[in-house]
DNA sequence: GATGAATGAGTATTCATTCAT
DNA sequence: CATGAATGAATACTCATTCAT
């Protein structure tokens, strides 16, 4: 009984997240408009009405879901924000490597991107919020590091420094391809990342024969 | 009267494209599911029923629209497929420049990407078709040129050659950002493209001090 | 030219009937509401618009068709109305035999019945008209003959004389079964008619004093 | 409140039948195609959506309705299937009398027939099902009794024995007339039935050697 | 809290009818 | 006359949302 009580309480506390998780899968699969809240409920193991106990409307479910994924993303990205002294070639390589792997490691990352792109015109404020709390900090941090690296001559002081999104583009491209073709687009992720980092680093380096690459 | 006289037949021939154009705008704005065919009709200057004179269903309208955009894209890309001798640094730069501008010049290009991403799970065959007839030929051509360039030493023979999509990723990234943030993301396209090409070229070049950039 | 002219004129004169014939088939197959005038047109070898050249509306087509079938039925029944002296057993048998065959010989007779039954609530006046011009004269004639036959003792003077429809009921029953089961209800028409006539005649005959009835 | 309290569950159990009853009336009045589910709903005292809580589609409503009427018919016919010894003239008269009254007593019987006839081409399987579970058992039973009656000499051993539907035809004819003319065809049911039974019995009886038939 | 019956606004699609050619 | 493009009223069906239990 006590156990059952605890279980029920635990269940209750987890319900919202279970619903959001289920909602995420359904929304990613069918898009906002074509997703039926009833399917979300079924997937979450509850009934239609229960969703309305925790959320005001379909829109609020969607917003909560995006915010939840944002939180997850921020947590995953945390290591990137730790301070480490002056950037070296290797630290930049490590940074890129980390970023690529971080936003590539979880299929859900990709599906969130699909949702953001699909529903950007319906939820512009939400997309902005996600940008400001998730993407922008990363880009800003990256920019800051690149500027410092350029200043101390680790990389060349080219315009690229102003476009940190340029460095992220290989990861983005991979996401987009996966969104479009799913498993029909087989890719050796490992090698792709390596190649990308290699290309970018090579592009960033000042004119120097010492370039090392695997 | 004279105008009306010409109208009948002329309209008949133009209607389908007018409808597809209107459909494109509506679908891009709201996604497949949330688009009302009646709004498409209104935008095209006809009524609901007229759409069904030319198309069997909402799905067929969507498919026709994607195919039409594919045709437009192929036409725009035609110059890229013309033969020109051995690739030089400048010809590669010109190629990248052309590609970036081509897939960036028309806002509709971007919106088509949104549709493809949004509806990829609903219309997988259609996305594949678009890939095979539009994206793939470009990537293949690009790959071929890079391989040749590597063989004659114009660029280094790195793994990047196998990932032509990597070279397209800055353009893709730009599209995605625009899709997410629209005008809220101001960007000097010109400079972004230049920077991208510069970064990539620099990354592609063999170890050489002579790297010229504008 | 003259020939073509004649042909065209002939075609034109026949159009309405061709349309009615096609309409009959479609209406019988799908009922009034579910029949598309366009299908009628196609079956008649013309286009939608042409129907409206000859008929005001779908309703008018239906009415015209029923009237046309009424005319055909009257023509087929004409021999029944010819005068022949006092009824004998054999003449009554011949009458029943004729009636059964007449309303059984053409599959369209049956289908008309389906239409009348299906649309009786939508076109009550039309059904009444058909009754008055087609069914009723037959029943009246039959009644008259039976009364005369009873008066001269050819058949017994039972209440049946007042219900001529009773004598028609085997034919009606056959129609209904065919309407319900089509070819899934195989029937030796010849034998069925014979048996019916036999049963009815036997029932009509006088004599047999031992027969008790309430 | 107490009333309302009971309502919920009670209504739930009764709803489907209330809907079917309403549907029956509407379908009988307008036919399948011309019936609006919304009118059915209104007549049943619910709204459009509620119908879809209980039935998948308009077709399913129609099918359920026919099956329900079949059940009702079987229950009404049950007494006919009880065993009673060797058939006498009186038992056969009683059988016919019962059958005629059973399929005549309820106006809905007639309207079901209209539906079956009207929609036989749209729902052939459903009509067959109704035949097999409702009509056929009656005809078979009737045939069986007639054969037995013929064997023991109660009636003559004529071909009529093979056509039990022939004996039902007066009832069918009455139905059809009612379907076609409704109240515009006044009929003393009682007398009609009596007359029919009389005619048939007379036709079935043996003897009367002077009767000639082909 | 959780349920699921009931609601009704919303949308794709059909088709009789019109009318310019 | 014949055509068939265009119309728009009509209708099956869906699904977010409510609320009595």
Question: Does residue B159 carry a pLDDT above 70?
Answer: yes
The number of residues making up chain D comes to 214
Any contact of A with B, at least 3 CB pairs below 8 A?
yes
What does the alpha-carbon distance between residue B134 and residue B129 come to, in Å, rounded to a whole number?
A: 8
Q: Profile chain A (214 residues) by mean pLDDT over runs of 10 residues.
A: 53 88 97 98 96 97 97 94 89 92 87 96 95 94 92 86 90 91 85 90 67 40
The number of residues making up chain B comes to 214
Question: Does residue D12 carry a pLDDT above 70?
Answer: yes
Lowest mean pLDDT across B21-30, B59-68, B150-159: B150-159
What does the alpha-carbon distance between residue A174 and residue A171 come to, in Å, rounded to a whole number?
A: 5
Lowest mean pLDDT across C49-58, C147-156, C201-210, D140-149: C201-210
What does the alpha-carbon distance between residue B170 and residue B100 come to, in Å, rounded to a whole number?
A: 8
Shortest distance, CA B2 to any CA of chain A (angstroms): 43
What does the alpha-carbon distance between residue B43 and residue B28 come to, in Å, rounded to a whole number?
A: 13
What does the alpha-carbon distance between residue C82 and residue B128 come to, in Å, rounded to a whole number?
A: 77
Burial class (CB in 10 A: 0-12, 13-18, 19+), D51: buried
The mean pLDDT of chain D is 88
Tokens describing residue B188? 């000097």
Q: Which residues contact A208 (CB under 8 A, 6 or more apart)?
A: B207
Q: What percent of chain C has pLDDT over 90?
A: 56
8 Å CB contact of A199 and B32: no
**Contact in structure between B56 and B98 (CB atoms under 8 Å):** no
Question: Does residue D44 carry a pLDDT above 50?
Answer: yes
Question: Does residue C2 carry a pLDDT above 50?
Answer: no
What does the alpha-carbon distance between residue B180 and residue A124 come to, in Å, rounded to a whole number?
A: 8
For the segment D100-123, what is each residue's pLDDT rounded down to a tens digit?
Answer: 988 888 889 999 999 999 999 999
Flag whether residue D78 sits within 8 Å of chain C, measured between CB atoms. Answer: no
At D162 the three-state DSSP class reads helix
Spatial CA neighbour of D77 closest among D130, D138, D163, D144: D138
Q: What is the pLDDT at residue B2?
A: 36
Q: What is the pLDDT at residue C210?
A: 42
Flag whether residue B145 sits within 8 Å of chain A, measured between CB atoms. Answer: no
The mean pLDDT of chain C is 87
Q: What is the pLDDT at residue C12?
A: 73
What does the alpha-carbon distance between residue C213 and residue B29 come to, in Å, rounded to a whole number?
A: 84
Please state the φ and ψ torsions of residue A192, each to the nearest 5 degrees.
Answer: -65, -45
The separation between the first and the last C-alpha atoms of chain A, rounded to the nearest angstrom, is 61
- Packing angle between helix A164-181 and helix A89-102, nearest 10 degrees? 30
Q: Which nucleotides of F are covered by protein (CB under 7 A)?
A: 1-21
Please state the φ and ψ torsions of residue D97, each to the nearest 5 degrees.
Answer: -60, -45
Tokens describing residue A79? 């290591």
For the segment D56-98, what is each residue's pLDDT rounded down to a tens digit?
Answer: 999 999 999 999 999 999 999 999 999 888 989 889 989 988 9
Residue B44 CA: distances (Å) to CA of B23, B39, B47, B171: 8, 8, 8, 31
Task: Name the closest residue on chain B to residue A130, using Cα atoms.
Answer: B180
What does the alpha-carbon distance between residue C8 and residue D129 come to, in Å, rounded to a whole number?
A: 50
**Contact in structure between B130 and B109 (CB atoms under 8 Å):** no
Tokens describing residue A36? 């039926």
Q: Answer for D5: CB within 7 Å of strand F.
A: yes
Read off the pLDDT of each residue in B162-185 and give the average, rounded to a whole number: 89
Which residue in this structure is represented by tokens 């293949």?
B140
8 Å CB contact of A173 and B177: no
Count of CB atoms within 10 A of residue D116's CB? 22
What does the alpha-carbon distance between residue C167 and residue C163 come to, in Å, rounded to a whole number?
A: 7
Residues 30-49 of C with CB under 7 A from strand E: 34-38, 48-49
Question: CA-based Rg of chain D, rounded to a whole angstrom?
Answer: 21
Flag whether residue D45 sits within 8 Å of chain C, measured between CB atoms. Answer: no
8 Å CB contact of A31 and B30: no
The mean pLDDT of chain B is 88
Read off the pLDDT of each residue in B77-100 and give the average, rounded to a whole number: 91
Nearest residue to F20 via alpha carbon and C1': D8
What does the alpha-carbon distance between residue D23 and residue D64 come to, in Å, rounded to a whole number?
A: 10
The separation between the first and the last C-alpha atoms of chain C, rounded to the nearest angstrom, is 77
Tokens describing residue C48? 């939608």
The separation between the first and the last C-alpha atoms of chain B, rounded to the nearest angstrom, is 59
Shortest distance, CA C52 to any CA of chain D (angstroms): 22
8 Å CB contact of A163 and B195: yes
Q: What is the pLDDT at residue A7?
A: 64
The number of residues making up chain C comes to 214
Residues 25-54 of B with CB under 7 A from strand E: 35-38, 48-49, 52
Question: Does residue C51 carry a pLDDT above 50?
Answer: yes
Flag whether residue B192 sits within 8 Å of chain A, measured between CB atoms. Answer: yes
Q: Answer for A31: CB within 7 Å of strand F.
A: no
Q: Answer for C32: CB within 7 Å of strand F.
A: no
Count of CB atoms within 10 A of residue D78's CB? 10
Q: What is the pLDDT at residue D163?
A: 87
**What is the pLDDT confidence band of residue B85, given thresholds at 50, 70 and 90?**
confident
Residue D140 CA: distances (Å) to CA of A55, D134, D159, D163, D164: 63, 11, 15, 10, 8
Q: Which residues contact C163 (CB under 8 A, 6 or more apart)?
A: D192, D195, D196
Q: Show the DSSP H helices in chain C as ranges.
A: 2-34, 37-44, 48-54, 58-77, 89-102, 107-119, 124-130, 136-151, 164-181, 189-204
Q: What percent of chain D has pLDDT over 70?
A: 92
- pLDDT: is C2 or C77 the higher one? C77
What B61-65 contacts at long range (C-beta under 8 Å, 24+ apart), as own/partner pairs, is B61/B19, B61/B20, B61/B23, B61/B37, B62/B23, B62/B27, B62/B32, B62/B119, B62/B123, B62/B126, B63/B123, B63/B126, B64/B16, B64/B20, B65/B20, B65/B23, B65/B24, B65/B27
Read off the pLDDT of each residue in D139-164 and give the average, rounded to a whole number: 88
Count of CB atoms within 10 A of residue D4's CB? 7
Answer whether 0.85 is exceeded by the pTM: yes
Chains that touch A (3 or more CB pairs under 8 A): B
Q: Which residues contact B56 (CB under 8 A, 6 or more apart)?
A: none
Shortest distance, CA D159 to any CA of chain C (angstroms): 6
């Amino acid at each position: 009984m006590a156990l059952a009580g605890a279980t029920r309480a635990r269940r209750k506390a987890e319900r919202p997240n279970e619903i959001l998780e289920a909602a995420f899968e359904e929304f990613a699969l069918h898009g906002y408009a074509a997703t039926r809240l009833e399917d979300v409920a079924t997937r979450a193991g509850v009934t239609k009405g229960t969703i309305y106990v925790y959320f005001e409307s379909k829109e609020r479910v969607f917003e909560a879901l995006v915010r939840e994924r944002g939180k997850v993303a921020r947590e995953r990205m945390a290591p990137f924000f730790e301070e480490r002294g002056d950037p070296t070639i290797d630290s930049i390589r490590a940074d890129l490597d980390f970023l690529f792997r971080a936003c590539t490691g979880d299929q859900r990352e990709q599906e969130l991107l699909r949702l953001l792109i699909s529903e950007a015109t319906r939820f512009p404020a939400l997309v902005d919020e996600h940008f400001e709390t998730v993407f922008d900090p990363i880009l800003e941090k990256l920019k800051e590091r690149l500027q410092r690296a350029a200043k101390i001559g680790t990389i060349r002081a080219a315009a690229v420094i102003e476009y940190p999104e340029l460095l992220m583009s290989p990861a983005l491209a991979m996401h987009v391809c996966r969104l479009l073709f799913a498993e029909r687009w087989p890719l050796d992720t490992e090698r792709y990342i390596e190649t990308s980092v290699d290309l970018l680093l090579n592009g960033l380096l000042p004119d120097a024969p010492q370039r090392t690459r695997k």
